[in-house]
Amino acid sequence: MLKAVMCRRSAAFVFVLLAGSPLLAQHAPLSLCLVQTRPYGSTQYDPPAGPWAIEMYDLLSAQKLRSGAPLQITVLAAEIEEEVPTEVRDLRCPYVIQLRYHGGIWHGGRSLDAESDSVLFTLWNGATGKAIANGASLLPVEDRHPSKAAFTAACANLTQQIMKSLNKLP
Q: Is residue 138 part of a domain?
A: yes
Question: In the structure, what pLDDT confidence band is assigned to residue 108 with cuts at 50, 70 and 90?
Answer: very low
Number of structural domains (the chain) is: 1
Contact partners, residue 43, CB within 8 Å, separation at least 6 = 78
- CA–CA separation, 52 and 153 (whole Å): 12
Q: Is residue 3 part of a domain?
A: no
Is the confidence at residue 46, as pLDDT, over 80?
no
Neighbours of 33 (CB within 10 A): 21
Q: Is residue 4 part of a domain?
A: no
Separation in Å, CA 89 to CA 36, 92, 106, 117, 149: 16, 5, 31, 30, 35
Contact partners, residue 96, CB within 8 Å, separation at least 6 = 32, 33, 34, 35, 84, 88, 122, 123, 124, 125, 126
- CA–CA separation, 99 and 163 (whole Å): 14
Give whichever of 13-27, 96-110, 145-159 has the largest mean pLDDT: 145-159
Q: Is residue 37 part of a domain?
A: yes
- Of residues 39 and 11, more confidence is placed in 39
Is the confidence at residue 113, as pLDDT, over 60?
no
Domain that includes residue 155, residue range: 28-166
Is the confidence at residue 73, as pLDDT, over 90?
yes
Q: Is residue 19 part of a domain?
A: no
Residue 13, classed as helix, strand or coil, is: helix
Is the confidence at residue 31, as pLDDT, over 60?
yes
Q: Is residue 17 part of a domain?
A: no
Q: Specify whether the CB–CB gap between 123 and 96 falls below 8 A.
A: yes
The closest alpha carbon to 133, from 170, 96, 84, belongs to 96
CA max distance for the chain: 87
Lowest mean pLDDT among 7-21, 28-42, 101-115: 7-21
For 36, half-sphere exposure in the C-beta direction (CA atoms, 13 angstrom radius) is 24
Lowest mean pLDDT among 63-67, 130-134, 151-155: 151-155
Question: For position 116, which CATH number holds?
Answer: 3.40.50
The mean pLDDT value of the chain amounts to: 79
Give whichever of 57-66, 78-87, 114-123 has the largest mean pLDDT: 57-66
Beta strands at 106-107 and 110-111: parallel, antiparallel or unpaired: antiparallel
Q: Is residue 1 part of a domain?
A: no
Q: Is residue 23 part of a domain?
A: no
pLDDT tens readout for residues 122-151: 999 999 999 999 999 987 665 456 678 888
